[in-house]
Amino acid sequence: MNTQEAISKRRTFGIISHPDAGKTTLTEKLLLFGGAIQTAGAVKNNKIKKTATSDFMEIEKQRGISVATSVMAFEYKGKQINILDTPGHKDFAEDTYRTLTAVDSVILVIDCANGVESQTEKLMEVCRMRDTPVIVFINKLDRYGIDPFDLLDEIEEKLNIRVCPLAWPIGMGDEFQGVYNIYEKSLSLFQANKTSISEELVKFDNIDDPNLDEIVGEKAANELREEIALIEGVYDTFQREDYLSGEVAPVFFGSAVNNFGVKELLNGFIEISPAPIGRTTNQGYIAPEEEKFSGFVFKIHANLDPNHRDRIAFLRIVSGKFERNKFYKHVRLDKKLKFPNPTSFMAKDKSVIDEAFPGDVVGLYDTGNFKIGDTLTEGADFLFAGIPSFSPEIFQELRNDDPMKSKQLDKGIRQLIDEGVAQLFIQEPGSRKIVGTVGQLQFDVILYRLTHEYGAKCSFTPLPYHKACWVTGEDKQALETFKRAKTGNLANDKEGNLVFLAETPFLLEMAERDYPDLTFHKTSDFKLKQKG
Ligand code: G4P
């Protein structure tokens, strides 16, 4: 296959949602359609349970399973679909943010009863940073939920994106009769059905067709006509370019658990979603069609076996063709590396691949060469514009409980940070190690792994910080004054950037007000802008 053909065939995306909205269920139904799995439940078992907070082995086991399903690929209507799995557990949100840099579009699942939830807003913020195209799937229509018009208003308002319904539900909960496809003028009738993938489809010439009254009843048919007229009046006609530029999100409705509306979603997705797109580097934009290979690491997974400390680095291919056993340049280390066993991760099993194309994700066995965000090229020196870190939400001091084991602790924490498990800040003077994460679960994982994999002896002490902001400023004197005034609240991140640790939102606001010449960044993205 030539690279151009491979690019036009591929669709690489992620499914995101607030926990419990139905991401896992939808993923599973899509895989059933694509024939990648045969039975329901295969993906579900991979989910990190909400109750797992204290069960380390369970976490580790599930992390292991999730390697195998990190990328789920299947063919559908001549396209190769790559679904990149994103952890549902909120404590692993940082993982999800990073995975979003490796996709070309997303499907956002919203529970029709809960509407836009906190995690939905955060995830969308990340999508908006890169103008990632978004399709919205409103799920659980078999239950009573928020009125669809109100829901669309809420999405527009809270997620800061315009919407365009491509389908419309007829009723909800017990009265849910099906979904009218505005584009194809067809009606899918709802049947609660958890296994079959067939759907009854009725086509109409136009919405005034009297058959509609016969099928759904006169009242529902008239309501639908009114609603469609309203939609046509309120929302602009769908333009694919607006979706591709991240300005408009097309909306579908359904019930994932009942396998309803999933096929429409998939068909719509195939039709409009983007083929692999390029990425920005410190030397400009790299298009997927570029002849020479390039890619970046967006995720690193440690081996489960503590005796083998090798890891798997997940590489998203941006341009050209990746080949097994060919030497590539690790730009940060200025080192040539080749990979005898690059792996593709299918839902069914792992297999060694000989070549891969833009949009694909390959797993590279790594003995410690990679960090999150690293670039591989065929010789060029550019670096992909990195992966942002967000301010952590929980901070704890990492204490060494055995001075004889400080080497183990240093090495362990450094490697875990490279994997992106948490962020590390070093406070001067005294070299106090402050670990920041987005969830409590991370501390359990870190402690467990430092003890079991690295033989360190350590503990965590909670710290009262609320946020860590990266501080920059042109005005050297203002920066020095700030540093003198805030000595106790300053630290450096792993690259030596200055970080301000604020105890409360108020203290952060005060600092922003008192030092107007300085900028307080909530994500590390400013580094990209500085690199240019
Ligand atoms: P998540 O990955 O986004 O966290 O959500 P997940 O798919 O696990 O779904 C969360 C719960 O919502 C599950 O129920 C699932 O069965 C249910 N669900 C998903 N889609 C629909 C739908 O269309 N309608 C209804 N009524 N429920 C839906 P659970 O009780 O947590 O798990 P289970 O025992 O049913 O597997």
Fold: same for 3-172+236-272 and 394-531: no
Give, in words, the CATH class of 3-172+236-272: alpha beta
Tokens 């694909």, located at residue: 360
What residue owns the CA closest to ligand 1's atom 4?
20
Check whether 287 has a pLDDT greater than 60.
yes
How many angstroms is it from 19 CA to the middle of ligand 1? 10
Q: In the chain, what are the domain boundaries? A: 3-172+236-272, 279-377, 394-531
Residues in contact with 148: Cβ distance below 8 Å, sequence separation at least 6, in sequence order: 112, 138, 165, 168, 169, 227, 253
d(CA 406, CA 454): 11
Most confident of 8-12, 123-127, 177-181: 8-12
Whether the CB of 17 sits within 6 Å of ligand 1: yes
CB of residue 46 inside a 6 A radius of ligand 1 = no
User: Exposed, middle or buried: residue 437 (CB in 10 Å: 0-12, 13-18, 19+)?
Assistant: buried
SS3 100: helix
pLDDT of residue 210: 86
Q: Rounded distance, CA 189 to CA 212, Å?
A: 11
CA of 179 to the centre of ligand 1 (A): 20
Kindly report the length of the chain.
Answer: 532
Structure tokens at 390: 């967000």
Residue from 491, 486, 499, 487 nearest 526 by CA: 499
Burial class from Cβ neighbours inside 10 Å (0-12, 13-18, 19+) for residue 274 reads: middle
Which residue, 275, 355, 344, 274, is CA-closest to 314? Answer: 344
Ligand 1 site, residue 23, Cβ cutoff 6 A: yes
CA of 255 to the centre of ligand 1 (A): 10
Q: Give the count of beta carbons closer than 10 Å to the beta carbon of residue 238.
A: 17
Three-state SS for 299?
strand
**What is the mean pLDDT of the segment spanning 180-204?**
71
Angle at Cα 489 formed by Cα 486 and Cα 493, nearest 5°?
120
Mutation probe of ligand 1 site: the residue of 51, 257, 259 with most atoms within 8 A of C-beta: 257
Torsion angle in degrees (nearest 10) through CA of 38, 5, 69, 448: 180
pLDDT in the model for residue 37: 64
Cα distances from 517 to residues 97, 321, 478, 497, in angstroms, run 30, 46, 7, 17
* Fold classification of 279-377 (topology level): Rossmann fold (3.40.50)
Q: How far apart are CA 107 and CA 11, in angstroms?
A: 12
Distance in angstroms (rounded) separating the CA atoms of residues 249 and 58: 37
Distance CA 265, CA 26 (A): 10
**Residue entry with tokens 């450096």:** 492
Q: What is the mean pLDDT of the chain?
A: 86
Ligand 1: residue whose CA is nearest its atom 16: 257
Residue type, 396: Q
Across 36-40, 42-46, 269-273, 298-302, the highest mean pLDDT is recorded for 269-273
With helix as H, strand as E and coil as C, how does 177-228 read? CEEEECCCCEEEECCCCCCCCCCEEEECCCCCCHHHHHHHCHHHHHHHHHHH
Query: Per-residue pLDDT tens for 37-61?
Result: 655 555 555 554 444 334 455 555 5
Q: Locate tokens 């790594």: which residue?
A: 366
Locate 473 and state its tokens: 């400023």
Instruction: Indicate whether 353 pLDDT > 60.
Output: yes
Residue pLDDT, tens place only, 393-426: 899 999 999 999 999 999 999 888 888 888 999 9
Whether 143 lines ligand 1, by a CB cut-off of 6 Å, is: yes
Does 15 sit in the ligand 1 pocket, CB within 6 Å? no
Percent over 70 (pLDDT), the chain: 87
**Does residue 258 have its Cβ closer than 6 Å to ligand 1?**
yes
* Helical (H) or strand (E) element with 528: helix 526-531
pLDDT (mean) for 486-492: 92
* pLDDT tens per residue across span 120-178: 998 898 888 889 999 999 999 999 999 999 999 999 999 999 999 999 999 989 888 88
d(CA 282, CA 285): 8
Closest-CA residue, ligand 1 atom 29, reads 20
- Cis peptide upstream of residue 516 (ω within 30 degrees of 0): no
Average of per-residue pLDDT across 419-440: 87
Ligand 1 atom having least distance to the Cα of 139: 23
What is the position in ligand 1's atom list of the atom closest to the CA of 256?
23
192 C-alpha to ligand 1 centroid (Å) = 14
Which pLDDT value is given to residue 308? 62
Task: Please count the other Cβ atoms lying within 10 Å of the Cβ belonging to residue 443.
Answer: 19
* Whole-number Å distance between alpha carbons of 521 and 24: 33
Cβ–ligand 1 contact at 316 (below 6 Å): no
Residue nearest to atom 34 of ligand 1 (CA): 44
Report the distance separating Cα 378 and Cα 294, nearest Å: 7
The 3-class secondary structure across 227-248, one letter per residue, is HHHHHHHHCCCCCHHHHHCCCE
pLDDT number for residue 125: 87
Q: Is 474 helix (H, G, I), strand (E, B) or coil?
A: coil
- Residue 257 CA, ligand 1 centroid: distance in Å: 7
pTM: 0.86
Distance CA 41, CA 32 (A): 11
**Secondary structure of 353-372 in HEC code, one letter for each residue:** CCEECCCCEEEEEECCCCCC
Distance 22 CA to ligand 1 centre (A): 5
Q: Which residue has the CA at smallest separation from atom 28 of ligand 1?
A: 257
Q: Is 19 in the pocket of ligand 1 (CB under 6 A)?
A: yes
Mutate to test the pocket of ligand 1, among 16, 20, 193 (most ligand atoms within 8 A of CB): 20
Residue in 164, 218, 213 with CA at minimum distance from that of residue 187 = 213
How big is the CA angle at 102 (ends 96 and 163), to the nearest 5 degrees? 75
Question: For ligand 1, atom 24, which residue shows the shortest CA distance?
Answer: 140
* Lowest model confidence (mean pLDDT) among 92-101, 183-192, 286-295: 183-192
Residue 196 has pLDDT above 70, yes or no: no
**208: pLDDT confidence band, cut at 50, 70 and 90?**
confident
Q: What percent of the chain has pLDDT over 90?
A: 55
- Provide mean pLDDT across the span 274-286: 94
When pLDDT is cut at 50, 70 and 90, the band that residue 509 belongs to is very high
Contacts of 297 (CB under 8 A, 6+ apart): 313, 314, 315, 364, 370, 371, 372, 373, 374, 376
The amino acid at residue 223 is E
Cβ–Cβ < 8 Å for 465, 501: yes
- For residue 268, what is the enclosing H or E element? helix 262-272
Class of 394-531 in CATH = alpha beta
> Is residue 65 scored above 60 in pLDDT?
no
Helix, strand or coil for residue 173? helix
In angstroms, the CA 351 to CA 106 distance is 26
